[in-house]
């Protein structure tokens, strides 16, 4: 279960579309649960004997009462139920909406599937050809309503999963996040937390592959984030610059069956760019034939929650087509940079589903009383509009190869899980069915 940078590195020197070593050797997605001996503890380690990976990894599991709840997920219950984190990496592909977890008794995360190019990063437990994406909505999109596209997506998610799919499914995305294995469920690959995401949001280009010239990308970028339920840490990047590359447009134009790259691009919309810190810049550069680089200054301490979000507009230009060009109609080309194929979401019953059932079986009056114990202050971040500046494309990566940054305990995550344990115990009068022993622990907190 080594994560191999066999497709090179991105502009941050993070692996780009890395594969699992097992996939490189066999051509099949790895079964992490089998290769890592079900993540059962042997000699104090849950990675098997010998270990299923030769890479240094970080583990993030729940604390307090939530730890005991998480242990009742997949079997064996004595195995490790948390997150095994490898390193930050960037994946490219098309998106499919999955779910928004409950903000009361769960982690308030947005979950999506990314159908990666050539199934990069997928495991046997992921829906075919995908990796899972997650980010806490309280940390991100709940603060994005200044930006029209993000507000529209936020509203769609609050409306229904069907509306969310209408807005996001099939859209090309570039995603940078902490890549690892979520062992609280059937162990599968995920990018969690997502640090940066750029989504092609002009629907005609996003889903048809037709080169209309007009293009639009919505994005966010940050250097921090938690891993939701069954975790207790905040995972941060070293301070510095973070670059997101919007790929150079390649596709078909009009009725042509022949894919062609754009000959140039103009930045035509930069009024919808926001930051949450008092200082910091966004820089845009064009690397002809390669992409448009968005570089964000994330040098502010992660305790300040540095975050950028917004939308930019692009106008692609094309050379005149040769007179001999074929004009036969065809389906959109499926290339690494212009795939509009949506991933198929496949939900897997897990510990969060079990906890949801516990809450729903309570009488409404008892449930309302317990929910009152879960009120917590929202993470409301200040928003400031900024104007990106255009620069010449860099001659070298904007970020040096950084040392590993150890995660730290996240007081907000710990407070949330402690409150959830207390509320559940009070609702069930300290006898939560199926979870013996969690309530004395919850009361001591």
| pLDDT over 90, % of the chain | 59
Q: Report the chain's mean pLDDT, rounded to a whole number.
A: 84
Please list the residues that pair with 132 across neighbouring strands: 113, 190
**pLDDT score of 431:** 83
Mean pLDDT over 279-302 rounds to 95
pLDDT score of 158 more than 80:
yes
The answer to whether 138 touches 108, Cβ cutoff 8 Å, is yes
Estimate to the nearest angstrom the gap between the alpha carbon of 182 and the chain centroid.
13
- Give pLDDT tens digits for 309-362: 999 999 988 887 665 544 333 333 333 433 334 344 444 446 666 777 776 777
The number of helices, as runs of H, and strands, as runs of E, in the chain is 10, 20
Helix extents (H) in 148-230: 148-159, 161-168, 203-208
**pLDDT score of 272:** 96
**pLDDT score of 338:** 36
With cut-offs at 50, 70 and 90, classify the pLDDT of residue 300. very high
* SS3 state of residue 148: helix
pLDDT score of 389 more than 70:
yes
**Region of residue 27 (phi > 0: left; psi between -120 and 50: alpha; otherwise: beta):** left
Best CA proximity match to 129, nearest among 162, 97, 101, 95: 95
Best CA proximity match to 260, nearest among 269, 249, 270: 249
This prediction has a pTM of 0.85
**pLDDT score of 328:** 33
User: How far, in Å, are 17, 104, 217, 287, 361 from residue 427 at the CA level?
Assistant: 46, 14, 45, 58, 11
User: How far, in Å, are 81, 267, 376 from residue 383 at the CA level?
Assistant: 37, 23, 21
With cut-offs at 50, 70 and 90, classify the pLDDT of residue 104. low
Mean pLDDT over 7-13 rounds to 94
**pLDDT score of 91:** 98
**pLDDT score of 116:** 97
User: How far, in Å, are 17, 27, 57, 241, 283 from residue 396 at the CA level?
Assistant: 20, 33, 28, 13, 15
Q: How far apart are CA 309 and CA 419, in angstroms?
A: 31
Residue 261, burial from CB neighbour count under 10 angstroms (0-12, 13-18, 19+): middle
Please list the residues that pair with 89 across neighbouring strands: 177
């Amino acid at each position: 279960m080594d994560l191999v940078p066999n497709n090179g590195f991105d502009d941050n020197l993070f692996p780009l579309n890395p594969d699992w070593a097992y996939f490189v050797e066999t051509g099949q997605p790895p079964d992490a649960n089998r290769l890592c001996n079900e993540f059962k503890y042997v000699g104090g380690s849950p990675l098997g004997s010998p270990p299923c990976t030769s890479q240094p990894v970080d583990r993030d599991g729940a604390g307090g009462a939530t730890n005991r709840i998480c242990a009742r997920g997949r079997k064996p219950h004595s195995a490790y139920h948390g997150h095994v984190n490898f390193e930050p990496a960037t994946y490219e592909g098309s998106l499919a909406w999955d779910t928004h977890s409950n903000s009361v008794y769960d982690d308030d995360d947005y979950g999506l599937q990314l159908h990666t190019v050539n199934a990069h990063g997928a495991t046997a437990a992921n829906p075919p050809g995908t990796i899972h994406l997650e980010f806490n909505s309280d940390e991100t999109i709940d603060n994005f309503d200044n930006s029209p596209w993000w507000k529209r997506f936020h509203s769609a998610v609050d409306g229904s999963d069907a509306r969310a799919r209408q807005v996001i499914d099939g859209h090309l995305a570039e995603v940078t996040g902490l890549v690892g294995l979520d062992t609280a469920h059937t162990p599968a690959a995920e990018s969690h937390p997502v640090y940066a995401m750029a989504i092609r949001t002009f629907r005609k280009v996003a889903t048809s592959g037709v080169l209309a010239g007009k293009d639009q990308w919505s994005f966010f970028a940050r250097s921090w984030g938690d891993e939701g339920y069954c975790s207790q840490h905040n995972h941060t990047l070293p301070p510095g610059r973070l670059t997101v590359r919007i790929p150079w447009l390649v596709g078909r134009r009009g009725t042509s069956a022949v894919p062609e790259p754009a000959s140039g691009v103009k930045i035509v919309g930069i009024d919808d760019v926001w930051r949450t810190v008092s200082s910091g810049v966004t820089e845009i550069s064009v690397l002809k034939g390669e992409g448009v680089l968005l570089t964000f200054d994330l040098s502010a301490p992660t305790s300040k929650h540095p975050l950028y979000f917004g939308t930019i507009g692009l106008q692609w230009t094309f050379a005149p087509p040769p007179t001999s060009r074929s004009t036969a109609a065809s389906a959109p080309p499926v290339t690494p940079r212009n795939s509009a194929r949506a991933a198929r979401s496949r939900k897997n019953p897990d510990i969060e589903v079990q906890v949801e059932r516990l809450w729903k079986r309570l009488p409404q009056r008892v449930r309302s009383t317990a929910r009152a114990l879960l009120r917590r202050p929202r993470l409301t971040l200040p928003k400031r509009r900024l104007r990106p500046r255009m620069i010449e494309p860099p001659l070298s990566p904007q970020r040096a190869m950084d040392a590993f940054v150890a995660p730290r305990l996240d007081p907000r995550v710990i407070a949330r899980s402690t409150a959830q344990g207390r509320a559940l115990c009070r609702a069930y009068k300290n006898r939560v069915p199926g979870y013996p022993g969690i309530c004395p622990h919850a009361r001591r907190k």
